[in-house]
Structure formats: C-alpha cells, structure tokens
Structure 1
C-alpha cells in the first residue's frame, strides 16, 4: 500500500474539522464560565528519559491538546484558550540537526491552521500568561510545579477536567472520520497478519506484516499489538513476539489498531489454523454470532451494563451448546463460571485514548462513579449509550488455567467437561472486537464494511 492511499481527514473533512474546532471553543467557553476561569492552558506533554540513559521513551501528546491540535507526537507545546478569541498555539519546533523538527502548519498545507494564532517556539518556553484566573491542564503541572507558580495557574482542577473529559465522549463528524480511517488502516493490517499466519509465519513475522500493511512504526500504534499464536491467545495482553513459528498452528489472535491524528482503532480477530480442532472453529463461529447479536441491540438509551451481562448469558448458552459446561446459562453466570472463561468487560469508550475517558462517570457535575456489577470488576464502560459515543464490542472465551483451576477444585467443576477444556487449551482462546459509533437509530460499524474487508 502506498502512502497516497492514506486519507487525511483534516483535508478531506476540512469543513467538519472547522465545525469541530468551533464546537470545542464553545464548549470550553461554557466550562470557563461555569468554573470561573478566564483562560485554559493545555500543555502537549514532553518525552520522558529512561533512567541513567540518554534515550527517551515513546511519547504521546496529551489527549486534551490533541482534541484541538491534530499533530500527534508534538511535544513541549502549549495551547491557550480564551473566550471570544482564536486559540494561541505555541508550537515547539527547534532548530535541530540531530532530529527532524515539526513543520509549522500553514493554511496552504493544513487548513485548520487558520483557526489558530501560531507562535513558533525554537526553545522550550512558557507561553505568555493570560490575564485573570488560569487553569493549567497536563502532566507538567505535576512534574514541574514551578511552571504552575510561574503561570500563577490552578493545576488540573478536578471539576473542570471532568467536564472537558465529558466533551470527548460523544464524537464530532471530524472525529468519526478519523476513527473510520484508523479502522480502515488497521483492517489492512489484520488481513496481512492473517495471510502471514496461513503461510506459516512466526509471531514476529505476523507483527511486521501488520505494521507494513497498516503503514505504522511500532512506536506509533495506539497500544502494543497483541499477536498470540496457539496458547498465547489466552494471555489477554500478551506482549511478546516469538521469533520461531510453532510446530502446530492451532490459532492466531490479533488485537491491534491504528492511530489517525491521535484517534485510535482497536480491533481483534481470531483465526483457526490448519491444526485447529472443529470444536475451536465452532467456538470462533459462536463468539462471532454472539457479538453480532449484541451489536444489533446497540442504540441510544441502551444500558451498556445490561449488554455486558447479556454477553455472559449468551456465552453460557454457547458453552452449553458446545458441551463444555452442562449447567443452564443463568446458573453459569451466577456461579462465576462464565467470568472464568471471559474475565474482561464487553468493551469500552474509544477515542483519543484507546480506553477513553469518562466511561464510568455518567454525570460530570457530581463526578459520581457508577461501579461495574458485582463479579465483573473489569468492565470499563457502565453508562447508558448516547448518540455519538464511540465504543467497542469485544466478547471473548479463553482457556486460562489460573482462572479455571479453582472451578476444577470445587462443586462447579462437576458441570465442566475437562477433556474438552484440555482439548481447547492449545488454541488459547477467541476474541472478536469491532469499533462502533452510536447513531440516532442504532450503530455505525467502523470495522465491518466493504472498505475494510473484515
């Protein structure tokens, strides 16, 4: 794939991007008025150096900064927002022969640039302090307290941050365009990963194929790609890439995304290899069918907690159909059996952070957290769905020995066919994950489309 196939939403959706920035300005002005602020200063963040070393860790810009400025990876820069004024972007682009500095955006190359006053910083410098009460948002307020003093600012005010977090929950047309492009790029990677798996590649070969097809370097992916062959598919956040292909090819699980102007996709697919048992193939088909039924229920007003619990009930039905567990689905859920086969939540909000903010805070004015239901502590989204929310739906089923062994050792184990569990163990598990945007009458699936091929 050539770079000419990479779509840039700041250009193809320039009008939507202008509307996005106008809505941000309006939302920030409301927040400033409600929190008695005259200005908000956002810091982009700065790279962290490894201890006793001269190398920096991989860096990602502060998400609230990226909400305004579509330049992922921009460090040591500032954005000053004031009511009824164009935001001032203090953009750090040093004179440097060791590294390539960021290019200064201009209206000719970046249509969004005309919405900002842009000040070029050649050295890390504080912005000019705005008049009145100032809020400073960013990690710098904690790492360099002297910056708070010099700007005479309130660091990361909790109520203000919650309100701005809420402003990221429902996506604008521009943001949806970025998410859609991120899904398209990730889908190309997933298809390349599957081809490499079928050709007999090792985990590292599959990872490299994914990166090449999705046109990303490893430090740019929104999260560390999970590429698990066989039993590694049961390690939920498996973090290695084996150099040698296994002798038997039972399964592949790939959980990987892409990032466009900081907006992430997060897609998972499970594939059966030549050595997979029919039982494992049936498990993949069952989890995928389950996922599609849950997606069909998406709409504004649906409680995501109810969907999560329905996922467990349907997983119980599937385990019973396959002969793995003999108990009725409701009893499996009540006894924690389905939780041992699927210990993670159904999904989460998606955006500038893979697990985006405010997933458990339905009302930013109080900040009260809606906790997950008992027995399901890993559920990251506990809200009622609203139009514009970007979410994932990712049911799974795994053979994780440390979670299943307690079942074997008590009365619940009498209802589990351990021979089938042991037969599935070399396959690891299954997870199917799509990215969706809630619409007025349902949901837009960004992952399954003619364009993505998934």
Structure 2
C-alpha cells in the first residue's frame, strides 16, 4: 500500500476513534478526557532514566512512541488538541514531527513545560496515564470504568491499524531472515541481535519488547534475556522471538532453526510448524480462543507420540495427566496492537488447565491475535516428570539428546476477518 493511502486510512482511523471515545465518555458521564503520554522514570539513586516507549491510549491516537511529557485533550464535538513537549534544551534534541495529514484533524501545539496544560472550561474531566505523573492534575484520575471502556476500543482494529501491523510484520521478517543467516554463519547471540537490528533499521531499545535470541539450550528459557557475545562451540539451534514497532504498532514473530546435523530436532521443528499452521487456520469469527489453545495441546500430544518422545499413552491421556503442559507450559497467544500483549484479552480468568493464557475471548472480526505453540526441554519441568510415576512413558535417551537444543516456538500474527482470517506474518 502506498504511503498516501496509509495516511488517508489514518484520517478514517482518527474519525472512528473520535466516535468510540466520545461514546465511552458519554456512557461514563465525562465532558472531556486528558491523556498523558507519560515519561520514563529515573533509576533509583541515579540521574539516568529508563528507556520510554509510551502509554497505550496516547499511542492509539498518535502512534508517537517515545514522546515524553505530551498531553492529548479530547472533547465531544471539538478537534483534539495535542501538546508536544519541546523544550529549549542544549542537552537533548527535540524529535522533529513530519508534516502529515493527521495534523489537519488534531491541533498540535508546542510547549516547554512538562506539566499538564491548563484547560479552558474542561467540565467534568477524566485524566488518564501513569498515576505518578498525574499528582495535582485537576480531574478524575484513571476512573476504572472509563479505562475498561477505552481498552475495549482497542480490541477491533481499524483498517489503518491493520495496515500498520502488516508493515511491522514485513519489517520484522527482514530481521528474522538476517538473524537466520547470521546463525548459519556461526554468529553469537549478540552478533545475531546486531544482524536483526541492522536489517530492521531499529535499535533494540526501540523494539516493542526485548528480543529473545537463544542458541542451543538457552531456548529452554521462555523469555531468555541475555546475549552471549561468543558463539557456542557447536550451534545446534536458534530460537528468535523479535518484533518491530511501526507508527506505534507492534509485530511479534518467533522462528526456530535447527543447526547442521540436527535431523531429530529439525523433524520436531517441521512437525510443530505444521501444527502451528493448522492452529492459524482455526482463527475465525465465533471461535473460542481457549479452544485453539486446547487444540494445540492435542497437537503437541500427537507430536510427542509420533516422534517417540512419549510412548504407551493415548494422546488425550497425555493432555489430561499434564504431560503436554511440561513440554508446552505457556498460552497459545494474545491480542496484539500498540502493546505486544494488548489489553482487554481476559474479561474472564483463564481456565485451570491454561493458567498462563492471556486471551479468553471468543474471536470477532478486527481482532489481531498471535498463534505461538511451543515444544521445549525445560529441566525444571522435565526432571520431576522423569522422576515421577509417569516417567516410564518418556524416552529419556531421546530427551537427553534433544535437551541441548532447548526448544521450539513458532509464532505468527493473525487477523480475524469477516469470513475467516488473514495471516499478517505469512502474507507479508
């Protein structure tokens, strides 16, 4: 899609947001809403701040990630007003704001103070944002029912949001290809991270989340957070879970690659990818997302049986006795938007058999979800199972040979359409 078309979609997006937010304000009895972008807190005992990304509702309207001390004022029937913090400062540069059509529907003002602006005749005002930044600001601070209603406005994506998510996928996939090439060339986790950043044109600090880059057994830690600067003696596997932020919107993609000579592990990767594609095919209006999670466990059981990792049990018995949860301990996915784990996913708590599931809703057109089954060799989960009564059903020799590969996760970002789904990752 050409940029002109994208920018035109943004105008439609803002018109839709105006209607959604006005409805939420009216239902809760507010005359106006002031949104604080927030700012990075300082580290304790230090004069350096953490890196800042932005507050969800502010990004929902502006897409301006990383903008601190900015304020957005919304009123029914009025043009929104955006105050950008642009101090006269010789220590830091002010980020330029490109001229784009959205500035014709939002009034942009510059100010040098980080404090909340003084509003003319605000009426009954709601103020939302980081409560540590809102002390002394007039208005109702973070009213819970309004926050819940505003979260709901982010569940069904506009055409503009979908296009931004698709472009974030395209950019991230270039990084994943570069990461795989770096792995094949024998790079370290740190070297693979650099290759990913170079290919995406995005600093690690600006990514929507810290990239998970795991060689070998490091993939057995679901959110492994370190990068070895030296490559292992033998690179058996790569798991990379990494995304890109585009105009505020996030991609969240995971791929796993088997190293040379790892035929058993490569077969597992292939089997899990086939399962993942079947699960992506389940995404459609009216489908309960919990059912996709449970279908994933049935697929993991079939894969464990087919590869000889577990023997002497029916697939359903593996699920019911908790064996599949040892190999696949997390949920099948979550909502995706201006936050990686986007809001409003759990109006009801997850079921007992899926305690870490981040989405418990029935799917509707416009929702964007991730589908990310995994199969891991996690010592803290596997060892008690091997030592218990069910251990006789596990192929300990094969598990021992595969432990050093850590695990597998394959993740795509999928849009629910009116008649089915669109895989934003595979279609990019």
TM-score range, shorter chain: over 0.9
Match 1:395 to one of 373, 378, 385:
373
What do residues 57-98 of structure 1 show as CA deviations (whole Å, max 9, x unaligned)?
100111101111121111101001001000011111111222
Within 5 Å, give how 1:274-423 maps onto structure 2. Answer: 274-276=260-262, 278-326=263-311, 327-361=313-347, 370-423=348-401
Cα distance in 1 for residues equivalent to 2:107 and 2:306:
62
Map of 2:409 onto structure 1: 431
Cα distance in 2 for residues equivalent to 1:237 and 1:224:
9
Match 2:122 to one of 116, 125, 131:
131
What do residues 233-268 of structure 1 show as CA deviations (whole Å, max 9, x unaligned)?
111000011011111111000000000122100000
Cα distance in 2 for residues equivalent to 1:47 and 1:8:
34
Classify the secondary structure of the residue corresponding to 2:352.
coil
Q: CA deviation at 1:54?
A: 1.8
Map of 1:245 onto structure 2: 231
TM-score, structure 2 length as denominator? 0.97
Cα distance in 2 for residues equivalent to 1:81 and 1:123:
20
Cα distance in 1 for residues equivalent to 2:59 and 2:306:
47
Q: CA deviation at 1:8?
A: 8.6
Cα distance in 2 for residues equivalent to 1:92 and 1:176:
29
Cα distance in 2 for residues equivalent to 1:70 and 1:302:
30
CA contact (8 A) 1:93 1:103 kept: no
CA contact (8 A) 2:7 2:100 kept: no
Map of 1:111 onto structure 2: 101
Q: CA deviation at 1:375?
A: 2.7
Deviates more, 1:124-133 or 1:284-293: 124-133
Map of 1:3 onto structure 2: none
Q: CA deviation at 1:409?
A: 2.1
Query: How has the CA–CA distance of structure 1 residues 399 and 196 changed in structure 2, closer, same or farther, with 3 Å as cutoff?
Result: same
Map of 2:51 onto structure 1: 58
CA contact (8 A) 1:78 1:90 kept: yes
Q: CA deviation at 1:168?
A: 0.2
Cα distance in 1 for residues equivalent to 2:36 and 2:69:
7
Q: CA deviation at 1:161?
A: 0.5
Q: Structure 2: which 5+ runs fail to align?
A: none
Within 5 Å, give how 1:151-300 maps onto structure 2. Answer: 151=138, 153-276=139-262, 278-300=263-285
Classify the secondary structure of the residue corresponding to 1:283.
helix
Q: CA deviation at 1:159?
A: 0.7
Cα distance in 1 for residues equivalent to 2:300 and 2:321:
14
CA contact (8 A) 2:289 2:360 kept: yes
What do residues 210-233 of structure 1 show as CA deviations (whole Å, max 9, x unaligned)?
000011011100000011000001
Q: CA deviation at 1:157?
A: 0.7
What do residues 323-352 of structure 1 show as CA deviations (whole Å, max 9, x unaligned)?
001111100110000000010000000001
Q: CA deviation at 1:145?
A: 2.1
TM-score, structure 1 length as denominator? 0.92
Query: How has the CA–CA distance of structure 1 residues 201 and 420 changed in structure 2, closer, same or farther, with 3 Å as cutoff?
Result: same
Query: How has the CA–CA distance of structure 1 residues 87 and 144 changed in structure 2, closer, same or farther, with 3 Å as cutoff?
Result: closer
Q: CA deviation at 1:117?
A: 1.6
Deviates more, 1:265-274 or 1:24-33: 24-33
What do residues 302-338 of structure 1 show as CA deviations (whole Å, max 9, x unaligned)?
0000110010011000100000011111001100000
The Cα RMSD (Å) is 1.3
What do residues 254-289 of structure 1 show as CA deviations (whole Å, max 9, x unaligned)?
00000012210000000011142x211110011000
Map of 1:92 onto structure 2: 85
Within 5 Å, give how 1:17-56 maps onto structure 2. Answer: 17-56=10-49
Classify the secondary structure of the residue corresponding to 1:345.
coil
CA contact (8 A) 2:134 2:141 kept: no
